[in-house]
Chain A
Amino acid sequence: MENDLALTGAQLLAIYRLAIRIRLNDERVIKEMMAGRLVTPYYSARGQEIIPAAVSLCLDDDDTICTIYRGTHDMVAKGFPLDLLWAELAGRVTGSCKGKGGPMHLTFPEKGCMVTTGIVGASMPIANGLGWAAQLDGKGRVSIANFGDGAANIGAFHESLNMAALYKLPVVFVCQNNRYAEHTTMARSTAVERLSLRAAGYAMPGVTVDGNDPQEMYHAAREAVDRARAGGGPTLIEAMTYRFNGHLIGDAGGYMDKAEYATAQAADPVPRLRRQLIDGGFVDAAALETIEADIGAEIDAAVSAAFAADFPELAELTRDVFAQEIA
């Protein structure tokens, strides 16, 4: 049984490629912010890399995702081009949204990156609509709704899960449970111990997995995505993880339990997967270093190009409000 579920070296490496891409990109964002070159609110998802990396392995470009303000990792994993991402973070006209959205509204439909929202819980009702569109299209596409444990307590969660189950929509609800809703622990905000228990209340399958474990996360995503594609309806996945950088960059995390934080850091899933790849003999360190250097170079180029680009002209204020530019 264990062997049947074991991921191949190629699968593990594919997850690592995305996870390290997310991590290196995240670290660079923070570095540029600390240096004062990048001025933006930024909600780091350090520590949560494995979840979207594993989910994305189950998705095609025309499958769609909706995510939230802590969602850059989801977008990078889905294939959001780094040059367009960086130009958007820098508020430049060359950004994917012409600099008009910023990190909380990253959008790139060509890769299925449909909505990033700054409103807790709002990814879910919209993901349902994309699921409805996929169902009508009849091409087996799926819609992913990413959100956090905090969002599981807002009305949109409950309305959306009921509707998705009722209509058998091809939606996978991926709850990235990083244990904190802003500054409040799950224990102090949520009566139920496992959020996946709520799935039963909406007559859909629900599962809690270690979101930092590539194998567990991949199989949960695979099963849910396959079910959705086959017309079997939605799934709620609660992916347990941990948030390494507080709610916002600059948040010292004084409310976080020190021992718990230290334990989570020691179990950082990205270096853990790196060791697993080397120790399992799947790939040697030199090959990983090459991959990492290539990503680093891609980020360098994206950052340089972003800062060299123009800001949007002020006429952009009247464009894209409506389809027709306002006179």
Chain B
Amino acid sequence: MTAPQKMTIVEAINRALHDAMAADPRVLVIGEDVADPEEGGVFGATKGLSTAFGEARVRTAPIAEQAIVGAAIGASIGGYRPVAEVMMMNFTTVAMDMLHNHAAKLRFMSGGQTAVPIVVRTTTGAGFSTGGQHSDYLEAWFAHMPGMKVVAPSTPDDAYGLLRSAIEDEDPVLFIENIPSLWTPGDVTFEKHPLGKARVTRVGTDLTIIAHSLMVGHALAAAVELEGEGISAEVVDLRTIAPWDRETVLASVGKTGRALVVHEAVKAFGIGAEIAATIQEELWGRLRRPVKRLGGAYCPVPFSKPLETAFVPQPADIAAMARDLIAD
């Protein structure tokens, strides 16, 4: 058993890729700037891989997302386990045909004869003034594709453990990394964490806050604030968005009777709508208040700092909404 180590999320991702490639010669990496002559990517997430495993397995690619994801799909059908990096989540839109029409559907359309066990790693998140085309959370697009799994870790340990499981998974996985928290440190246990399992990150009794990625930290900060006011908030980290862990969420809300779903993606038609609807379908008689949602404003992510900050749900917004839920 490897002793736990303190490391950042980006270090945990690098380590997970390294360990996965060492464990299984079928694991490949392809993406823009991923090899060492290009310094292992803009965030260094793939640093050292091409030196350790060779450029036949770790391919720096042209800026051609369709070709990158297509190459990953083809190699996976050919028996490999490619991890494609699409630098920013907004750039996945350039490869949407490969992702939606092919990666997600080939298993079904072939009657199970072919499968696409790929991971597509991508980064996103507002906070660095990257504006309307470098900050979007598009998880609802991908969660709406039957056949596609969507994973979004919030801690270094989950980044490691969920990425290892995503690489071993038999289905395509979109793996979302939040940029502002890439350098957040935490203990990494080097254990693999199963996909499809949420975690109760903080136990509480008065309401359940359901979040993923950066919003888990914001929810925990809000919960600390609320504690001082005598409100006990439970925080559930989804970790996997598709397929999401209905059991854990419903058990928590069944206990607290109040639910608030928070995501950075635009609120309208976001995954919060699906989760809120499911909670109301399953727990109608036991809910003490209607389910609430918090999400990004209905506009492209803005550049100007005050606008960008206001776009994203902040801990104070979460706390305020929680107080609303508690008040009769």
Contacts and interface: CB of A to CB of B under 8 A. Distances in A.
Given A117-B102, A119-B97, A322-B147, A162 B64 contact: yes
A303 B107 CA distance: 26
A135 B56 contact: yes
Interface string A126-168: 1111111111110000010000000000011001101100110
B67 A97 contact: no
A63 to B, nearest CB: 12
B77 interface: yes
A136 B70 contact: no
A321 B107 CA distance: 7
Contact of B109 (A97, A129, A134, A156): A97
Nearest to B77: A114
B113 A119 contact: no
A31 interface: no
Interface in A85-128: 95-101, 105, 107-109, 114-115, 117-119, 122, 124-128
Nearest to B76: A129
A95 B109 CA distance: 11
Interface string A291-327: 0000000000000000000000000000111111010
A320 B67 contact: no
Residue in B71, B82, B102 with the greatest tally of chain A CB atoms within 10 Å: B71
Contact of B102 (A108, A126, A162): A126
A303 to B, nearest CB: 20
B57 A136 contact: yes
Contacts of B69: 125
B111 interface: yes
A117 B101 CA distance: 9
A166 B62 contact: yes
Q: Please list the 9 inter-chain residue pairs (A to B) with the smallest Cβ-Cβ separation, ordered nearest first.
A: A129-B74, A125-B70, A133-B78, A98-B111, A323-B170, A97-B111, A159-B67, A107-B110, A159-B64
B276 to A, nearest CB: 21
A253 B66 CA distance: 33
B214 to A, nearest CB: 27
Interface residues of B, number: 43
A64 interface: yes
A321 to B, nearest CB: 5
B78 A134 contact: yes
Interface string B27-53: 010000000000000000000000000
Contacts of B77: 109, 114-115, 126, 129-130, 133
B108 interface: yes
Given A107-B111, A107-B113, A125-B67, 8 more contacts: A95-B111, A101-B110, A126-B73, A126-B102, A128-B70, A134-B78, A136-B80, A324-B170
A119 to B, nearest CB: 5
Contact of B74 (A98, A107, A133): A133
B224 interface: no
A127 B72 CA distance: 10
A114 B80 contact: no
Interface of A: 64, 66, 95-101, 105, 107-109, 114-115, 117-119, 122, 124-137, 143, 155-156, 159-160, 162-163, 166-167, 319-324, 326
B106 interface: yes
Contacts of B325: none
B285 interface: no
A161 B261 CA distance: 45
Contacts of A320: 107-108, 110-112
Contacts of A322: 107, 147, 149, 170-171, 243
Contacts of B109: 97, 100-101, 105, 107
Nearest to A166: B62
Nearest to A104: B109
B300 interface: no
Contacts of B64: 159, 162-163
Given A128-B67, A320-B112, A133 B75 contact: yes
Nearest to B55: A167
Given A100-B111, A115-B114, A125-B98, A163 B67 contact: yes
B61 interface: yes
Interface string B90-123: 0000000110011000111111111100000000
Contacts of A162: 62, 64, 67
B114 A109 contact: yes
A83 B125 CA distance: 51
Interface string B226-237: 000000000000
Interface in B153-195: 169-171
A166 B75 CA distance: 17
A126 B66 contact: no
